[in-house]
Amino acid sequence: MGKKWVMALTGIALIGFVLVHMVGNLHLYEGAWETHEYAETLRDLGTKVIPRTWVLWALRAGLAAAFALHLHSAYSLTRMSRAADRRYAGGRDYIAANYASRTMRWTGPLVGLFVVYHLADLTWGHFNPDYVRGDPYHNVVASLSNLPVAIWYIVANVALAVHIYHGAWSIFQSLGVSSPRWNPLRRRLAGTFAAAVLVGNLSFPILVQAGVIDDGGRSVVRERLEQADRTGEALAPPEGAP
């Protein structure tokens, strides 16, 4: 039961992050400068009290801990489940299990690999030859303009949505809060939430490929930084930016 509680609580934290991350990424539709300002706002959290980026790094550390605990609980529960299977000659009966729950063991590792790739691609720039530090809009466009990368993002986000659907559905059951009366509502809420995250996340690679999100191969933010460095003036938004 303890492992299920850890799984559920860390799942809530990670699902919350996925939603906030997706909503934050909607700044891509506003443009390069607005996306840059959003990223800078995250780095400036709490700066009236503590040094810059400390809050952001604390949040990252908390998410990393939640992710590690979630993986450990999933691995432990999987081993316990397999041990239980061996006690029955015919194995388990999965007739009552839905597609999402049966694929959790596959979508979980796939999402884990995607997280590592996503960080290396858009946070560290290891897989992005056109990476520009501090310009998330340009980095997203440069990365997702590559068709194989866009396809990988789509596949991984479909797996994430399936994982979220089952996770959101089973969280309250894992916490011991479950009633047949509310099960249909829980299922609809889980489906709606997973669908919203899926549509939002899939829109980015699809619209970059369609040319709706585009920067013409140039980093507006880098240009502004270089101009500010040459003139010694404070960094200002480009003409036309709100």
Are 81 and 7 a contacting pair, CB within 8 Å? no
Summarize pLDDT for 169-185 with one digit per residue, the tens. 777 777 666 667 777 88
Distance of CA 205 to the CA centre of its chain: 14
pLDDT at position 13 over 70: yes
Q: By C-alpha distance, which of 164, 158, 150, 165 is closest to 117?
A: 150
Tokens for 58, please give them. 């604390």
Average pLDDT over residues 189-203: 94
Are 27 and 38 a contacting pair, CB within 8 Å? yes
Third-level CATH fold of 2-231:
3 helical TM bundles of succinate and fumarate reductases (1.20.1300)
pLDDT at 96: 40
pLDDT at 240: 47
Are 153 and 208 a contacting pair, CB within 8 Å? no
Average pLDDT over residues 126-132: 91
Mean pLDDT, rounded, of the chain = 84
Summarize pLDDT for 46-64 with one digit per residue, the tens. 998 999 999 999 999 999 9
| Prediction pTM value | 0.83
Are 65 and 2 a contacting pair, CB within 8 Å? no
Q: Which residue has the higher pLDDT, 178 or 23?
A: 23
Residue with tokens 């007739």, as numbered in its chain: 95
Are 198 and 165 a contacting pair, CB within 8 Å? no
pLDDT at 144: 97
